[in-house]
Amino acid sequence: MKLLVSPINTEEAVSACNGGADIIDVKNPKEGSLGANFPWVIKEVKDSIDSKKPISATIGDFNYKPGTASLAAYGAASSGAEYIKVGLYDIQTEEQAYDMLENITNSVKSYDSNKKVVACGYSDYQRINSISPMKLPEIGANAGVDLVMMDTGHKDGKSTFYFMSENTLSEFVDLAHSYGLETALAGSIKFNDLEPLKRIKPDIIGVRGIVCGGDRNAVVQEELVTNVKAEL
């Protein structure tokens, strides 16, 4: 399993890189679970770690705006991100999800076919009135994405394991793998979640709060990144 850590600036990116993160995920928590940061921050983060690790970038928690999302995805790809993550936050139907993901994928792949598109659903989908993430593996595969992910949409300290059982998360990972997709699990992950995550075996585990001392609005700490990496 790879460890993805989400810094908001170059200082945090260096701490994450030095702590052993496998993927550096640029985001902006002020704008939501998958809040987008600025294009120049993506470039600065990549330069700050001397391109030693792959860069991921979130483009936002999106309602049904395939054109806006496609343009944002192109911007993230052209700014240097290898992984481009979109949150299907206010997507109500399978048709909307497919339309979003197909156009985002076309936008990214037309720029660079080696870039990876990440479709993110939410374990707390019922309380945010969004599409079930269990539908994303099939939709994502049909739309041409590379990876499906589960996060929490509302950040109030409740982890993905509060909303989804270990068996359900294993089913999500196995289903995605059956479609040939990579998987990622995130969402207020805590240290006691790491053991079940090792049993579930997603390809990537995404964190921020746990390496900020429990507060995602605090600062990424190199030592905590090292500790999480060691646990995995």
- CA 52, CA 174: separation in Å to the nearest integer? 30
> Is 53 tagged catalytic?
no
Could you say which of 27, 46, 53, 135 is catalytic?
27
User: And the tokens for 49?
Assistant: 């770690």
Residue whose tokens read 């905590």: 224
What pLDDT is recorded for position 217? 80
Assess contact for 108 and 79: CB atoms under 8 A: no
Q: Which residues contact 4 (CB under 8 A, 6 or more apart)?
A: 21, 22, 23, 24, 25, 56, 184, 186, 204, 205, 206, 207
pLDDT, position 60 = 96
> Is the pLDDT score of 167 beyond 90?
yes
pLDDT tens-digit map of 10-29: 999 999 999 999 999 999 99
The pLDDT score that the predictor gives to residue 216 is: 83
Q: What is the CA radius of gyration of the chain?
A: 16
CA distance 212 to 219: 5
Q: How much is the pLDDT for 45?
A: 97
Measured on CA atoms in the order 44, 48, 51, 55, is the torsion positive or negative?
A: negative
Residue with more model confidence, 169 or 232:
169
pLDDT in the model for residue 157: 87
Catalytic residue chosen out of the listed positions 46, 53, 85, 115 = 85
Tens digits of residue pLDDT in 59-117: 999 999 999 999 999 999 999 999 999 999 999 999 999 999 999 999 999 999 999 99
89, 130 Cβ separation under 8 angstroms: yes
**Tell me, what's the pLDDT at 75?**
97
pLDDT: which is higher, 68 or 215: 68
Q: Any catalytic annotation for residue 27?
A: yes
Beta-bridged to residue 5, according to DSSP, are 24, 207
- Helix ranges (DSSP H) in 20-145: 39-48, 66-78, 94-111, 125-128, 136-143
Do residues 226 and 16 lie in contact, with contact meaning Cβ atoms separated by under 8 Å? no
Give rounded-to-5 percent helix, strand, coil for the chain.
45, 20, 35
